[in-house]
Amino acid sequence: MTERTSSESQELVIVLDFGAQYSQLIARRIRECHVYCEILPHDTPTQAILARRPKGIVFSGGPSSVYDDGAPLCNPVLFEAGIPILGICYGMQLMAKLLGGEVAGGGRREYGKTEITVLDHGDLFQGLNPRLIAWMSHGDRVEKAPPEFVETARTAGVLGAMSDRRRKLFGVQFHPEVVHTPWGIEVFRNFLYEQCGCSGTWTTESVVASSVEMIRKQVGKGKAVCALSGGVDSAVTAALVHRAVGEQLTCIFMDHGFLRRGEAEQVVRTFGENFQVNLIHVQAQERFLKRLAGVSDPEEKRRIIGEEYAKVLEEDAEKLGDVEFLAQGTLYPDVIESGTREAARIKTHHNVGGLPETLKLKLVEPVRFLFKDEVRAVGEGLGLPDEIVWRQPFPGPGLAIRILGEVTAERLETLREAEAVITEEIMAAGLYRRLFQCFGVLAPIRSVGVMGDQRTYGSTVVLRAVTSDDAMTADWAQLPYEVLSRISTRIINEVASVNRVVYDISSKPPATIEWE
């Protein structure tokens, strides 16, 4: 993860990533405490870490054993730098091994909810009950704490937490970042406020101020265009860049033909009329459909759409003359899922992995290090309307990747009608803001049905509804049966080519939220 340029006065906590699946959750919990943090690879040079002058450091968990060949390590110099450190799971085991404790491999494993007995309430457990339920997921364990450490919590036979108050070094065997440890946020607060001396200055107002400062510094007196899609990410990006550089920004809203019903009109109304932003509305539906003719592979679809998107942007930017910068709404989950040092590529996003290397414009990505809920908060702070701020996530390639198989004008209209029904019924049931995403997928399946005493051979729409905090993980939503019934009945009655609706009950992982 690259370093974010921010105000020098901003409090910073660094999360060193040892390959944990929960590193992003650690970052989210810290930010919920109004403290800014960044995730860096575990092998980031020590001098680079210290140069950032962090208020604290958190060692993440990870899948390795400290006894594995090539196990991820850290420089022990960090322990003597006077910076408070919290080690979680593998991070605690690593701390114990490097500082002279004893770590046992295998043996007594703990997975899932486990009872913890607090032995010392003097630091991380301040204000918490003496008996707690926490989430464990480990094989190795700390058999003996290092010299100068005291045991502060214990499970049935396993050291649960340890502290060296003089050096402000702390370790916990459980995972305070997951929802299954409901009091875990208090552990972070005690670490951040009582041990690191943080004051909680990272707020929506400070995010806006630092982002505007960063944009002005990057763009200077140059011209910028913003790839406006209608979703909250690009909308907040446009609003931030407009606040920073005003008339230097022109928004290019590209209707590639893969939008939902009424979306184009709403974007034009919000930015062209209400915000008075320079706006170009590009009608490129036929151009994109022609490029996708005969294409079924999802990665190829994304690559083509990303490539064409960049071409159209550059063409329209050239018409404006002397444009140097392209602003787009890349989020942190986009970056993770498009492949980083610690995560394999899951899928290509048109605004991360699909842009050609020949792109002439320099990227401006002010929300690149924010999660979705943080972007929404910034949007509210900027005065964007609720219909934009609370719009559910919508992929850059739009309906094209919710159509499995070839994308045609006819199939787009079928899915567009089905999506409209889904959205109307979810809103009518008061569920829209309780769901992270709810949408339809047009499957490449036709099946036999009976309608009006006649045999049909129609299409299948898959209903997908999930709950999630940040898109890194997601659970399928247990929608009320009556809502499912209304959606199914309306789609089959109102969308002529569809005779079957099915409900996706897969979670992420192992599935992804989108089907392609």
Other Cβ atoms less than 10 A from the Cβ of 313: the count is: 22
To the query of whether residue 74 is one of the catalytic residues in this protein, the response is no
Q: Measured in whole angstroms, how far is the alpha carbon of residue 487 from the centre of its chain?
A: 28
Catalytic residue among 177, 342, 365, 417: 177
Residue 511 has, within 13 A of its CA and on its CB side, a CA count of 14
Cis peptide before 510 (omega within 30 of 0): yes
Structure tokens at 476: 């399928």
Pairing of strands 110-118, 131-138: antiparallel
To the query of whether residue 417 is one of the catalytic residues in this protein, the response is no
C-alpha to C-alpha distance for 39 and 42, rounded to whole angstroms: 9
Alpha-carbon Rg for the chain, nearest whole angstrom, is 25
Helix axes 232-245, 372-381, angle to 10 degrees: 50
Order of all β-strands in the sheet with 362-364: 278-283, 249-255, 223-228, 323-327, 362-364
Give backbone dihedrals phi and psi of 336, rounded to 5 degrees, phi first. -60, -50
Q: Measured in whole angstroms, how far is the alpha carbon of residue 352 from the centre of its chain?
A: 13
Block residue for tokens 């860049």: 241
Catalytic residue among 37, 74, 89, 196: 89
To the query of whether residue 177 is one of the catalytic residues in this protein, the response is yes
Q: Are the CB atoms for 201 and 34 separated by under 8 Å?
A: yes
Pairing of strands 159-164, 169-172: antiparallel
C-alpha to C-alpha distance for 322 and 140, rounded to whole angstroms: 59
Residue 434 has, within 13 A of its CA and on its CB side, a CA count of 10
C-alpha to C-alpha distance for 108 and 64, rounded to whole angstroms: 16
Give CA separation, 422 vs 304, 334, 356, 417, in Å. 28, 25, 35, 9
Block residue for tokens 């009320």: 480
Catalytic residue among 42, 175, 242, 256: 175
Give the total residue count for the chain: 516
Residues with a known catalytic role: 89, 175, 177
